[in-house]
Structure 1
Amino acid sequence: MNILLVDDSRLARQELRHLLQAHPEVTVVGEARHAAEARQFLPTLRPDVLLLDIHMPGETGFDLLASLDAAPHVIFTTAYDEYALRAFEVNALDYLLKPVQENRLAAALAKARTALVPLEITLPISVPEPAPTLLTEHDQVFVKDGERCWFVRLADIRLFEINGSYTQIYFEQHQPLIPRTLQHLEQRLDPRVFFRANRQQIINLKWITGIEPWFSNTLKIQLREGPEVEVSRQQSARFRELMSL
């Protein structure tokens, strides 16, 4: 498991390195002092997990995640307890208060190991293939949430959205949860129809009813029957490129 430490405190980074020595399966691939430096390191170091502080000079840890279209798993390390709810809203694996305790760090790393285990593919296809087959908008998929089941056309799904450790599917008046990541779904869905708007949402382009400019050269998209979706800066540029003549 490769980990990048992101914290403006040199002493905090040293303490984390010391605690991680008790976990031989962990490799610290680098250290970043702030969000901008972490953003620079991510493409080359490609860590599996970020040990991420929240309060840093310039941008917060939340700002860093919001600027990324795809991010490693995140374990927050912070001296403040009031951001715990928001941390889990951005799909963090865990939230560790400083000074970080050995047993809490061990538990968080165990969650990371579980999250890094590849998930089996369960979305049905008409003819089984040895490799995942791209699903078109005309395909139907089986969806089960608790005791309720649906067989729904992908064309009728307007939005996929992260909800905790699950993904929520929006179709008709239903919003069931499935145990799949957006990365997994993105690999299976037709990119001509389904677009990754940000870290947390994939939209069906055929359900768009309105587009308007938003902050910092981003876009806000209105889907038929809702909701509104804010497109990240990078994906806004990609959307303009894809949709323009």
Structure 2
Amino acid sequence: MAPPLTALIIDDEPLARQELQYLLDAAGDVNVLAQVSNGIDAVDQIRTLKPDVVFLDVRMPGLDGFAVLRKVLALDKRARLPEVVFATAFDQYAVRAFEVNAVDYLLKPFDASRVVKTLDKVRARLSATAIDRAADRPHEPVPELAPTLRVTESAEDDGDFEETVTDVAAGSTRGTIAGIVAGAEAKLDALLRMIERNGQPLRSGKVVVRTQNRLLLVDQKDVCFASIEEGRISVVTNTVEGDSNCRTLEELMDQLDPEQFWRAHRSYVVNIQHIREVVPWFKSTYQLRMDDRKQTEVPVSRSQTKRLRELFNL
């Protein structure tokens, strides 16, 4: 009987991590070695724990999912990356722009049956990799870095444009270590370019706010701030306060204009146009007094203090 898969969950949203942990536990035969909340710790844990698979958030503050993989390669040029499953809040059409064969993706909010299919793909790839490794020059170990990334872009007329990045591991015996690393990084770069070109979610300019059994469409410019507490996301304007239909702040941020909205704190997203006052706080920290009816005070995390100073030349 094959040993259970070893896995890391890397996501800056606690609820997303907990949800995925629950689904992996329910799927069975998966040992989650750790949950990681940021890219810097993710690099250390990947190198230390060497999991079979990482479930990696695409967008995280600091090092994003792609930067994590680049950093692992940069720190150890002989590293073999684990199987990578990207987690994203992009919609299905956007996901098609960077669908990956040998890696995989999970769309937020996660679906139990989709998680099971992803685990089947991971196991199949690990099995195939083990067979290839045993058959290919067993006495001359070959550095294995990144799996093949196959990126498919769908045009509006459904004509398929396909960009396939060559698998460097398969030809690694014929190249230098430097060449292998460069090829692996090139694959990551190609995937990132595709996302930047085609993977951005559509923004309607409206935010759905659920209040008193009604679903209101609120203009983004009217949103003062949004916050999350115990899994509930509240959206506040000058006239309306209600719940978002999003499950994470990251998912909500994907719908908002990044030029106007800022993740000032782990639990808060603010509209910079609705900041009424910057209030100095203890130990060189700040709070934001918003212009909603309650003049809510929103904390600024230490990691975002520099961004605050840049925004307002403090």
- TM-score tier by shorter-chain length is 0.5 to 0.7
Query: 1:192 & 1:51 partners in 2: Cα distance?
Result: 27
Query: 2:82 & 2:33 partners in 1: Cα distance?
Result: 13
Conserved 8 A contact 1:182-1:200: no
Q: Confirm or deny that 1:73 pairs with 2:80.
A: no
| C-alpha distance 66-193 of structure 1, shift in aligned 2 (>3 A) | closer
Secondary structure at the aligned position of 1:80 is classed as coil
- Out of 120, 131, 136, which is 1:110 matched to? 120
Cα drift, residue 107 of structure 1 = 0.6
Query: 2:178 & 2:19 partners in 1: Cα distance?
Result: 47
Number of residue pairs the alignment of both structures matches: 158
Conserved 8 A contact 2:8-2:34: yes
| C-alpha distance 85-130 of structure 1, shift in aligned 2 (>3 A) | closer
Conserved 8 A contact 1:49-1:112: yes
Cα drift, residue 14 of structure 1 = 0.9
- Please name the residue that 2:44 is paired with: 40
- Out of 90, 100, 106, which is 2:110 matched to? 100
- Please name the residue that 1:15 is paired with: 19
Q: Confirm or deny that 1:131 pairs with 2:133.
A: no
Conserved 8 A contact 2:102-2:148: no
Q: Confirm or deny that 1:24 pairs with 2:28.
A: yes
Query: 2:180 & 2:90 partners in 1: Cα distance?
Result: 35
Conserved 8 A contact 1:7-1:32: yes
Secondary structure at the aligned position of 1:16 is classed as helix
My pick for the range that moved more, 76-85 or 40-49, is 76-85
Bigger Rg, structure 1 or 2? 2
Q: Percent identity?
A: 30
Query: 2:105 & 2:26 partners in 1: Cα distance?
Result: 20
Amino acid at match of 1:196: V
Greater fraction helix: 2
- Please name the residue that 2:55 is paired with: 51
Secondary structure at the aligned position of 2:54 is classed as strand
1:61-117 Cα distance to aligned partner (Å, 9 max, x none): 12222333242111111212375256436x662221111000011111110000101
Q: Confirm or deny that 1:84 pairs with 2:69.
A: no
Query: 1:184 & 1:116 partners in 2: Cα distance?
Result: 15
1:176-220 Cα distance to aligned partner (Å, 9 max, x none): x99x9533543x346489653242569xxxxxxxxxxxxxxxxxx
Conserved 8 A contact 2:102-2:149: no
Q: Confirm or deny that 1:6 pairs with 2:10.
A: yes
Query: 1:65 & 1:86 partners in 2: Cα distance?
Result: 20
| C-alpha distance 92-162 of structure 1, shift in aligned 2 (>3 A) | closer
Query: 1:19 & 1:129 partners in 2: Cα distance?
Result: 36
Query: 1:197 & 1:42 partners in 2: Cα distance?
Result: 20
In structure 1, stretches of 5+ residues that fail to align are 123-127, 136-160, 166-176, 203-245
Query: 1:129 & 1:7 partners in 2: Cα distance?
Result: 36
Query: 2:149 & 2:20 partners in 1: Cα distance?
Result: 29
In structure 2, stretches of 5+ residues that fail to align are 74-79, 152-163, 188-314
